[in-house]
Amino acid sequence: MSAVGIIANPASGKDIRRLVAQASVFDNNEKVNIIRRTLRALDALGVRRVLIMPDTAGLGLRALDGLRLSLDARIIEMPVYGDARDSTRAARIMAEAGVACIVTVGGDGTNRAAARGAGDVPLIPVSTGTNNVFPVMVEGTVAGLAAGVIAAGLVPADAVTYRTKRLELYVDGELIDVALVDIATSRDLFVGSRALWDPGRLREAVLAQARPGTVGLAAVGGCLTTLSPRNTHGLYLRLGAGGRQVLAPIAPGLVVPVGILEHRLLEAGEEVHLDPGNCTVALDGEREVEVGLQQTVAVRLTTAGPRVVDIEAALAEATRRGAFDLAWEAPDGPSGGC
């Protein structure tokens, strides 16, 4: 049975960067509309079952309200905590249920949480967050079509997906968490409002992606080199005054000089030991872990990140295979397609 999962985060696109920078607010009504458009596309392609994550704002329930579909769309049963645990648990349940792919509606943090539970199930990451390096700006209908051609068996997933990198955070030798884009240490001693926007507070960073045209630490790295999601290398940065300076968009509407004392490429599998000392560690742009003076911090770059659907490649392959051709009988001529 063809099946797709949908994980939508009601908290994405609403952090403090709406106050300290010019980040836009991505309201929950638009997320509901994205889910609805995704469902309509899946229904049009004959997908039979959709599992939707429950959440504190009831995004899935609101999307289903009054929507007439042929497919069986339901909210999965699970505890709701209103934090990253929900996305991880939902992805795990969906993977165990055998979904062909998972559409994630959120930012880097949403996808990081979903990736922890998705296993080998490919993600279709739809951007609705702030520093969106991992997800892509794509219309919900198009995301639904890409998910649909895979779930309906019209395109083999292996032909249109790729494996991304991930960064593993170790504290005192124990794996604490993972990131998909960047891990950085901050001089702030407490997690606080979580989001990063002041490069003067940062000490070191390890990047899985360095890309001009993005926002955040990936954009800082993008001033030095380009590392795509499919490239196997990473980038280490030591930040601070007195070295090379680059002008980078560290947050939406916030283009500032960033000092770089040292930078070097990393190979897949390489581990970087960061300077000890009281600090917080940020994963994918948000402070998550508080580290004490005597603790050690290391980051390992791996190629064991989640699988991601190349949306354009999926739709192009579906077109090549005739997935969108509807046979019809002309009144006085041979059958054709549209």
pLDDT in tens, 174-200: 999 999 999 999 887 666 556 776 888
One CATH from 1.10.3720.10, 2.60.200.30, 3.30.2270.10, 1.10.10.10 for 166-302: 2.60.200.30
Whether the predicted pLDDT of 330 surpasses 50:
no
Q: Report the DSSP beta bridge partners of residue 260.
A: 239
Q: What is the pLDDT of residue 26?
A: 66
Assigned token pair, 143: 């995301």
Task: Find tokens 């930040």 and name the residue.
Answer: 239
Task: Find tokens 């990140």 and name the residue.
Answer: 305
Phi/psi-derived region of residue 73, left when phi > 0, alpha when psi is between -120 and 50, beta in every other case: beta
67: number of Cβ within 10 Å: 13
In whole angstroms, give the CA distance from residue 215 to residue 251: 6
What letters, b where the CB count within 10 A reaches 16 and e where it falls short, cover 106-140? bbbbbbbbbbbbbeebbbbbbbbbbbbbbbbebeb
Q: Write down the pTM of the prediction.
A: 0.89
Q: What is the CATH number of domain 3-164+306-320?
A: 3.40.50
Q: What is the pLDDT of residue 204?
A: 96
The pLDDT tens digits for 216-253 are 999 999 999 999 999 999 999 999 988 899 999 988 88
The pLDDT tens digits for 126-171 are 998 655 799 999 999 999 999 999 999 999 999 999 999 999 999 9
Domain locations in the chain as residue ranges: 3-164+306-320, 166-302
